[in-house]
Structure 1
Amino acid sequence: MSGTDISLTDRIGTRHPDAGITRRHPAILPWLPGPVWLADALVTWRWPDADDFPDTTLLAILFAVTGIALLTAAATGVLTKRAPWATALGSGFGAWEIAQAKLLSLPRPFFGTPQDLLDVFITDWHRLGDSLLHSLGLLAAGYTVGSLAGIATGIGLGRSKRFRYWVHPVLRAIGPLPPVALLPLTFVLIPSSWLAGEALMALASGFPAAILTWSGIAAVDPAYYDVARTMGARERFLTLRVALPAAMPQIFVGLFMGLGASFAMLIIAEMLGVKAGLGFYMQWAQGWAAYPNMYAALIVMSLMCTGLITLLFRLRDRILVWQKDGLKW
């Protein structure tokens, strides 16, 4: 290929290896987010607010700093893949600022301004952080206990006929029930609202872990057990070194499903019984019509859930090395 052909290919685009189509990467795209965020800063600073909103100057400074950082990232070449998202976020913040802070076109107090949201993080960060720690503590205990109990139950169901005879009917009767349906009964039987929430989250995470662990163990090729037995392996070795590693992909599916169910049960328990955490904070904010506080709690909750799922994916990629490129988060 001649030098002319190479330069022509570089100007037109690169060929995507999976889709087999040509994708264009305009050179201007990485430079677009910075001016968008700087324009947000200019609009926020120079266009008078429709009301007396807090922290307008600080918000303009944050927009400007973000724009400068994005321009620096574009100059260093690290913004190519994230440039469309950075542009979309900047455009969204700019549209929100104009629509609400400058024109008040959305009904208040249900829709606040970017200044209101920023003010919540500045003035109420301590309560938000305390709520986050309470939610993490409640979730960690319930999810961990439920997952470990579910994996142990799934191992018993997959390896012991007697265990399966007695436990399987109970699992079929109780497991499919939505944990929230047991909320009134749980708070009656368990005097502590904290323990009741833990029990419901353990149930929410334990059922999918048990079913998927059982499914993974049941799918193990019997030839693996025969080979291990011919080498003198006992039942404990067959369970821990043959069945459990082979079932790991299914077990992680159950852990992901249980984590999502635990998130839902966590917020319900905090709203209805546990007087702490992000769910309780959201209910408090709604009761006082402090909707910016509620939106701030939603952002913190989203970051918490995304972070925990990311950690679980990292653990999965570390254990299932041969599958780490198959699914990304």
Structure 2
Amino acid sequence: MSGTDMAFSGQAITGTASASPAGLRPVLLPWLAGPAWLAAALVTHYWPDADDFPDTNLLAILFGVVGIALLIGAALRLLTVRAPWLIVLGLGLGAWEIAQAKLIALPRPFFGTPQDLLDVFITDWHRLGLSLLHSLGLLAVGYAAGSLSGIAVGIGLGRSKRFRYWTHPILRAIGPLPPVALLPLAFVLIPSSWLAGEALMALASGFPAAILTWSGIAAVDPAYYDVARTMGARERFLTFRVALPAAMPQIFVGLFMGLGASFAMLIVAEMLGVKAGLGFYMQWAQGWAAYPNMYAALFVMSAMCTGLITLLFRVRDRILVWQKDGLKW
């Protein structure tokens, strides 16, 4: 065999290897997502339930609609990246249906069925929606007040020696305390449980915002201030046009940390003092052994927290355009 023939033969072998199952996997995976959901629909509809569960037929229809939609998405090549997760989700829901609705493998009522969760969203959506709105309102006020106060305190710590002298010891004494530990004292000193919850959420979000703002301002290169002063800049310009923009990456880290701390404080406050919101809804559901309602509240809470973090990331990417690809969510 000549060298040319061997070269063509090697190229043929290479081409065959590229068409191997590993190469075809990204093409085939999107087409498996729809059948996984359709299989879950068939199991839900044709396998008899072990007990009288609500909305079984409706659940099967929903699985089937999702399966058909995924097949359409595969045909339009929209599922290239998400296909593995969609397959696992469909198979996981089908396994959950078999384990609990068909076999009751785990003790009830602690472990419900997909039908139970769907029934909660159908029958109790109004109370869940009101709880979500209350939690969002409580979180928005406390987090915004704490973040803005923390940024202001951080600016003072970074730009004023006198302010730092008087404020830093107080911050070191109170800031590291878990806000949950101050909950009984807050309910005694503040007559309104709503205001007490807001104050503790403000403390939870304010401390990391203050520390990270201070750190960001302290890390600004002094040469920036010198250049601005030579051009006639005053203290106000140095603070808001030099120090604050340069500290923005650190400030957003503090805002993310404060948001997570505010989430935790929100649920504790609603469970123990503020008799409304998703935390109170979860406590009510547990008291009545309505565990599907509790799981539905957890699902809504997860969606709320994920949505707010995503929104904060969008704001960060808009402001810090040069760092857009440095941190993902």
Under TM normalisation by the shorter chain, which class is it? over 0.9
- After superposition, the Cα gap between the structure-2 partners of 1:158 and 1:116, relative to the gap in structure 1 and judged at 3 Å, is same
Structure 1 unaligned spans of 5+: 14-21
Quote the RMSD (CA, aligned, Å): 1.8
* 1:11 corresponding residue in structure 2: 19
In the alignment, structure 1 residue 213 sits paired with structure 2 residue 213: yes
Report what 2:194 is aligned to: 194
Q: Deviations over 1:107-158 (max 9, x none)?
A: 0000000000000000000000000000000000000000000000000000
Residue aligning to 1:105: 105
Partner of 1:17: none
Count of equivalent residues: 321
1:234 aligns with 2:242: no
2:246 is aligned with what amino acid? A
Amino acid in structure 1 at the alignment position of 2:176:
P
CA distance in 1: counterparts of 2:255 and 2:186, whole angstroms: 24
| 1:198 CA drift (Å) | 0.1
Report what 1:66 is aligned to.
Answer: 66
Distance of 2:211 and 2:243 partners within structure 1: 15
Any conservation in 1 of the 2:26–2:80 contact (CA below 8 Å)? no
Match of residue 297 from structure 1: 297
Letter in 2 for 1:168: H
Aligned to 1:85: 85
Partner Cα distance (2:322, 2:17) in 1: 35
Distance 1:76 1:87 in 2: 17
Task: Identify if the C-alpha distance between structure 1 residues 252 and 102 changes in structure 2 by more than 3 Å, giving closer, same or farther.
Answer: same
Structure-1 residue corresponding to 2:136: 136
Between Structure 1 and Structure 2, the one with more helix by share is 2
Instruction: Give 1:27 shift.
Output: 2.0
Post-superposition CA distance 1:29-80 (Å, at most 9, x none): 1111110100000000000000000000000000000000111111111101
CA distance in 2, matches of 1:64, 1:307: 27
Aligned sequence identity (%): 83
User: 2:27 maps to which residue?
Assistant: 27
- Aligned in 2, Cα 1:271/1:241: closer, same or farther, shift over 3 Å? same
Structure 1 residue 311 corresponds to structure 2 residue 294:
no
Q: Distance in 2 between matches of 1:181 and 1:90?
A: 42
Question: CA contact under 8 A between 2:149 and 2:206: conserved in structure 1?
Answer: yes
- What TM-score does the superposition give when structure 2 sets the normalisation length? 0.94
Q: Distance in 1 between matches of 2:23 and 2:137?
A: 46
Structure-2 separation of matches of 1:207 and 1:251: 12
